[in-house]
Amino acid sequence: MAISAVAPATTTGPRHTAVVRVTHWVTALCFLALLVTGVEIVISHPRFYWGETGNIHTQALFQIPIPASRHSVPTGYGFVLPDQNGWSRHLHFQAAWGVVLTGLLYFVYGLTTRHFAGNRVPRGVGLGRDLVAHLRFRRPGPADAWSYNPVQRMTYLLVIFVLFPLMIWTGLAMSPAFVSAFPAAVSVFGGQQSARTIHFFLTIVLFGFLLVHVGMVWLAGFRYRMRAMVTGRAASIQEHS
């Protein structure tokens, strides 16, 4: 079947409310800032440990084979990268609080308006069959422009209620001030270095989600999906053989 035409479908209501659109783009910008600054922070010490402490004199759990931005960190390279650790840490913390505050707004909105129940919780007859069908990554039909399929709903629930909270938790567990007030926040992970390592792997998972998310938006019709998230108005995609 070949895609020969793309036609918009009109409806009377917005696809995404203003709160959803604003929190989506603020989170996207903050996440981009967190990725860039997180890479800079890792470059300053590309070694990861498990437990409470870890330094250049400690056996690393694993290390990323890249040069560091500090002469004191042994990486096997005969040079160091420019040190960007200062500004990157400040921006990383600011962007993190941006995600926290935006996430709280979205969470309150989702509970008070039943946004989660209506757009995030998988439901309906034939759920298992729908899951299998959507896991084949077929191009969405016209009806999909105004609803989330079961795979999307389950993935968003995982990201919103598991991955992002864990990212925030492990990030706070690396803060000496927060840990001094709430020591149990880091002890549950086995130490600050364990929290840092988990934080790193969670970043990889969320980055993978971002790549798949953008790819699926492109597959579903980039222009129409972007318009829905910018203006609130959606257009469906019609396939013609």
Angle between helices 164-173 and 192-231 (to 10 degrees): 140
pLDDT at position 133 is 47
Instruction: Return the DSSP state at 238.
Output: -
**pLDDT (0 to 100) of residue 170:** 97
pLDDT at 145 over 70: no
52 versus 123: the higher-pLDDT residue is: 52
CA angle 92, 43, 100 (to 5 degrees): 20
CA distance 34 to 57: 28
Least confident of 30-34, 121-125, 163-167, 195-199: 121-125
Cβ neighbours of 13 (radius 10 Å): 9
Query: Higher-confidence residue: 154 or 79?
Result: 79
pLDDT-derived band at 118 (thresholds 50, 70, 90) equals low
Indicate the pLDDT class of residue 139, thresholds 50, 70 and 90.
low
Tell me the H-state helices in the chain: 18-44, 85-112, 115-119, 127-134, 150-158, 164-173, 176-181, 184-187, 192-231
Q: Is the pLDDT of residue 234 over 90?
A: no
Residue 8: pLDDT band (50, 70, 90) is very low
Which of 32-41, 55-64, 152-161, 191-200 is the least confident region? 152-161
Which among 208, 211, 172 has a CA at the least distance from the CA of 192?
172
* Least confident span in 39-48, 115-124, 170-179: 115-124
Q: Give the integer Cα–Cα distance in Å for 191 and 184.
A: 10
Residue 238 has a pLDDT of: 46
Q: Is 83 exposed, middle or buried (0-12, 13-18, 19+ CB in 10 A)?
A: middle
Average pLDDT, whole number, for the chain?
A: 83
Render the burial of 191-221: b for 16+ CB within 10 Å, e for the rest.
bbbbbbbbbeebbeebeeeeeeeeebeeebb
Q: Taking the mean position of all CA atoms in its chain, how far away is CA 177?
A: 26
Whether 167 contacts 200, CB under 8 Å: no
pLDDT in tens, 166-224: 999 999 999 999 999 999 999 999 999 999 999 999 999 999 999 998 988 888 778 88
- Per residue in 49-77, pLDDT (tens digit) is 999 999 999 999 999 999 999 999 999 99
| Run of H or E residues at 80 | none
For residues 35-43, give the mean pLDDT: 97
Tens of pLDDT along 192-206? 999 999 999 999 999
pTM exceeding 0.85: no
For residues 226 and 206, which has the higher predicted lDDT (pLDDT)? 206
> Can you give the pLDDT at residue 224?
80
Q: What is the average pLDDT across 18-44?
A: 96
